[in-house]
A and B are shown apart, each in its own frame.
Chain A
Amino acid sequence: MGREVAVSVRELVKEYDGTLALRGVSFDIYKGEVFGLLGPNGAGKTTLMNILAGILLPTSGKAEVLGHDVVRESRAVRALVGFCPQETVAYEELNAMENMMFYAGLYGLPRSEAKRRSKELLEFVRLLDVAKKPVREFSGGMKRRLNLAIALINDPEVLLLDEPTTGLDPRARRDAWHYIEGLKAEGRTILLATHYMEEADRLSDRVAIMDLGRVIALDTPEALKKSVGELSVIEVHVEEASEALKEALSALSENGKILSGEDYVRLYTRDPEAVLPKAVEATLRAGAKVISVSVSEPTLEDVFLKLTGRRLE
């Protein structure tokens, strides 16, 4: 028996003033799964989220959430979905409780139920102690937690999280992951848009990699990483990655592809034991000061590089 589909997207196209933001996106999200949408800025993740949240109308194609068409039954879809955009949606002059009560009102919750649910959710995101404090006094991490609590006010079966950890420090990000894992454990269906490959890798059951309005790969994180091939990654950390260094290490990498930043270069090889000493030697020859060298398995970023030839930024 096949798994039950919570969200179905078929050939979705969205055009803004002659620019195609989505170019025929199709996928299914199963009930209870965390579905990652990974892609750089401008890949079309937010546009897709907005269509599924019932905010935008698609130019063509079809999308259904829990069997409801997002265009024809937009209000029903919005009542079933919890939407957490990347911006702070709380009104900063109000306190957390007032914000929760306001959003509860938008979903038509009676006052007593709204109060009970708001308390529960503020407790869930560990904000009950500061429920009467104006949101403007909250840290970035606290505001994101409040965003999440607001997204849950209608007890949604499907949760749309649009880059929920963008701009957070590593600790606050790990904190947010903890809550998302908790929601997954409750059996909610979660669509998680992110440009952090580590986030998609850790939280998602399946990941759709998007680029320029298209889904260019869709599978479990493990399968996607395997698609890079039986390659290992040698990462050379240096003080400064010069062009000469990149050129030298590119010559040692499989197919000549490397991934580099200001202070590192990643190269790919089927034979790390043989290539590692050569890489160190080439680095020293290029005049770079080596900080560390490591061998690891490919990441989703490596998958994106393989598919597009560009870094995931």
Chain B
Amino acid sequence: MGLRAILAIAERDVRSTAKDKMALFWIVAFPIFMLTMSFLLWANPMPPVTVKVGIVYEDTTVNWGNLTFTAKNITDIMKEVYVETEEGKVKVFNVVEYGNKTDEALRDLKAGKLDAVVVYLDRFSVNASYGLSAKAEIYVRGGDAYTEQVTRAVLTQFFDELSDRIAEARIEVMEQNFPEDQLPPGQKQMIVEWMKGLAWPVNTTIETVTPETLMGKAGLRGWFTIAMTGVQLLMSGLAIGATMVVEERDRKTLRRLMAAPIGPWDLLLGKTLSGLVWLGISSLVCIGYGLAWGARIYWHPLENPAHALVPVLLLMGGLMMTGLGLLISMVAKTSKGASGLATAIGFPLMFLTGIWMPKWMLPRPLRVFANCFPLTMIVDALRAVMVFDAGLEAVLPVLPWTILATLVFYGLGVLAYKVVLRRSL
């Protein structure tokens, strides 16, 4: 093997690719285009749902002047419920009042104009104010399971919360009005606690915890940035391997190359080196472009040793896919055919291996396949390290299997390369 010859082959290949507009499109423009689309279309956190609620007052006490808590008060509260998002405050309820016209509200619900109807039954306000059970009926629009579930959840949570607040207020009023001098010492506190037990027999709290890096746009953009890097390793790696020999054969330069004092390994290593250079450039384009859009990407190899393994993971991914590409070249007759075949194989893999689409979106058998696919392991490890800032614990478990897969894929690729080279001369 001659280092000078290997470098000459790599340099020539890099120069040729730099002058090939189509190759540059796939290496540079395609990831930029895909990332732009993804950032604009998909890398947005789910917006909160606004529930359109119709309110009906069958309650004849709603306008009594001396009540502390009426159905109208609840409607006013509903109108002021907001959730905070990156884009600002979003209203939870869009309230439409129907007076006492229940039929009209239910007609609108059936017509799909409303998500739910809340009917405050008679004496709701007076019962709520005087410590009795205040009754309301809630109708939720069915048909769309997702909307139905969300509407139910939002309304249930709202009325649970409301109920809790009313219970709390009632207990406070009772506590203030206890004739303390007629009770044995400590008895008052015991009664208060017992009443709380009646109001909240099981006291739970629910908090939503989202992984910090996926919270908001920056995390999602980081996820897509690494996904695109994986796609480039997959698609470009396959194409580089598939066209390595057949392209020289099509150009009719192969015979002349092999008439120089170089061996098959020099050609293979020179071409692989140039392929890795372009894959590296493509990865940098993805990451740089992601960062420019504010994607959350971590890179501090001096503090986190797992980050130092990122180039190793990228190298393994590149070699693995180049090896697979070399296997593809065995059945390709022309450079265009090889490139087309690489795309035909790479494109479905992009979706079926969980590299571009999240694995949870895949059907179960495909999820098993994706979990075993070595490039997916590499991309998952890259995501864990670069988006979630995980440590070595995210990389070391997959390292043995990915190293083995790289050796096997590239090794098989070398055998295929030798066959294709022999056939081509």
Contact = CB atoms under 8 A, between A and B. Distances in A.
A106 B255 contact: no
Interface in A77-99: 78-79, 81, 83, 85, 87-89, 91, 93-94, 98
A105 interface: yes
B175 interface: no
Contacts of B11: 102, 105
Interface string B8-21: 11011001100110
A109 B5 CA distance: 9
A262 to B, nearest CB: 31
Given A54-B259, A56-B425, A81-B259, A87 B5 contact: no
Contacts of B261: 75-76, 78-79, 106-108
B5 A91 contact: no
A107 B262 CA distance: 8
Contacts of B8: 101-102, 104-106
Interface residues of A, number: 31
B15 A98 contact: yes
Most buried by A among B4, B8, B252, B256: B256
B16 A94 contact: yes
Contacts of A150: 256
Given A53-B259, A79-B261, A108-B4, A87 B252 contact: yes
Contacts of B259: 53-55, 78, 81, 83, 85
A106 B253 contact: no
Contacts of A8: none
A26 interface: no
B258 A94 contact: no
Contacts of A98: 12, 15
A50 interface: yes
B2 interface: yes
Contacts of B253: 87, 89, 91
Contact of A108 (B5, B257, B263): B5
Contacts of B257: 106
A105 B4 CA distance: 6
Contacts of B16: 91, 93-94
B262 to A, nearest CB: 6
The 4 closest A-B pairs by CB, nearest first: A105-B8, A87-B252, A89-B256, A106-B260
Interface of B: 2, 4-5, 7-9, 11-12, 15-16, 19-20, 251-253, 255-263, 425
Interface of A: 50, 53-56, 75-76, 78-79, 81, 83, 85, 87-89, 91, 93-94, 98, 101-110, 134, 150
15 contacts: A50-B255, A54-B259, A55-B255, A78-B259, A87-B253, A87-B256, A89-B256, A93-B16, A101-B8, A102-B9, A106-B5, A107-B5, A107-B261, A108-B261, A134-B19
